[in-house]
Amino acid sequence: MQGWVSADESGPVSTSNPPDTTRFKPLVFKKSTQTSAAFTTTPSTSDNAVYVDEFAWALDQKFAGQGIFGATAAIPTFLQLDNEPELWNSTHLEIQGATPVSSDAYIARTVALAKALKDQFPAVTIVGPAHYGFGGLYSWQGELAATPSGTNWFADKYLAALKTAGAAYGRPLVDVYDFHWYSEATDPSGTRITNLNGSTLSDAQVQAIAQSPRSLWDTGYSESSWIRNVLGGPIALLPRLQAKIAAADPGMKLGLTEYNNGGCQHIAGTLAQADNLGIFGAQGVHAANYWPLSNNEPYCFAAFRAFRGFDGASATFGDVAVKASSSDVQSVAAYASTDSAHPGRTVFVAINRATTAKQTLLSGLPVSGTAHLWRISASSATGQSPVRPVAAGTQAVSGSSLSLALPALSVTTIDVY
């Protein structure tokens, strides 16, 4: 989206007067604005431009046989509009230079590129702006005078602009508003939890990690972080953004296209990641991509197995969400589902982030049959590779409630059928 692509493979590029046009070639969003030549899968490498719409078309031709960007694609594929634009002046200094791209310029580029792509693929799902974090979606890294409860965040500006542009174009231009969320929460010593990746953690560090997903939704939870300080209280980010979408651009979806809460060599990481997955469903997140911060994060990957393949085979969380709430969310979070393919089947995921066992009553949803328990805990994970749920017994259930004991610091999947 910056407008330039690499012209060679000759090593470092000068940043004294970016961009050095001897080392880059222009990137053009729409080929027809420059030439009447048809698209080709073998474009010239000696001309002076790369065309984005032709590039996307060539990918569509190459992969999946019948295309990947169409409405009926066998492998539907999103297009994300670049990455972390608020940081271009540091991450891509050799192109951007030291001056950040302005919010107005960025939005104008977004509209132009999205139009070029949707001219070619009207049904493609386009994702943007791929914020690096809260500073981008709040104030465009300090450019805007955003206020905590105001409608003057960058998100408000972007959503309103895209709504107007989409109405003029005749269809939405950006389909998913996305951002990255590497938790900024800290432990009592001020260490950011994404840096807490050792196998030994203090109780306070465990709780900083395990409680951190609550900042995505819980209006009663205040983490220790600079974001909490900016907002002056609970972050509750997803409801805030959903409200902004409802006000400015109804129909826009939400995505977390990179995220991580740390603790991934400890059961704390399992607790946080399992909670994230439940929250994404409960809060209507359209898509999310877990982003490892190291090459060794077994406990965070284990959390996915609490929802998919928890029996070591193909058993999964149900495909119909059931609203669930906790009377003691600081200790226990619970997520519930039913299975449209198997009437009468119910699947729960219960997370105990307390350092003591909790006797828990799941009530309000009719259950009948046998509850099959699968569990990840610090003790069960010892020596495992990969870390995964283990069978934790069965119990007969009938009626509208289910009582069970949740061990300290554990994730339990309850499959009732």
Q: Token pair for residue 45?
A: 């490498």
Q: Which residue do the tokens 């069978």 mark?
A: 391
Q: Please enumerate in sequence order all residues whose Cβ is within 8 A of that of 382, keeping only pairs 6 or more positions apart, or say none.
A: none
* Conformational region of residue 135, where left means phi above 0, alpha means psi within -120 to 50, and beta covers everything else: alpha
DSSP H or E segment with residue 352: strand 346-352
To the nearest 5 percent, what fractions of the chain are helix, strand and coil? 30, 25, 45
164: three-class secondary structure by DSSP: helix
The active-site residue out of 84, 86, 184, 258 is 84
327/330 Cα distance (integer angstroms): 9
Residue type, 149: S
Q: Please enumerate in sequence order all residues whose Cβ is within 8 A of that of 210, keeping only pairs 6 or more positions apart, or say none.
A: 263, 268, 271, 272, 275, 353, 409
Q: Which residue do the tokens 């001897």 mark?
A: 22
Q: Please enumerate in sequence order all residues whose Cβ is within 8 A of that of 243, keeping only pairs 6 or more positions apart, or say none.
A: none
Distance (Å) of CA 216 to CA 123, 227, 284: 30, 12, 12
Strands (E), 194-305: 253-260, 287-290
How many other CB atoms are there within 10 angstroms of residue 413's CB atom? 26
205: three-class secondary structure by DSSP: helix
Q: Token pair for residue 278?
A: 């439940």
Cβ atoms of 407 and 381 closer than 8 Å? no
Is residue 84 flagged as an active site residue? yes
Q: Catalogue the active-site residues.
A: 84
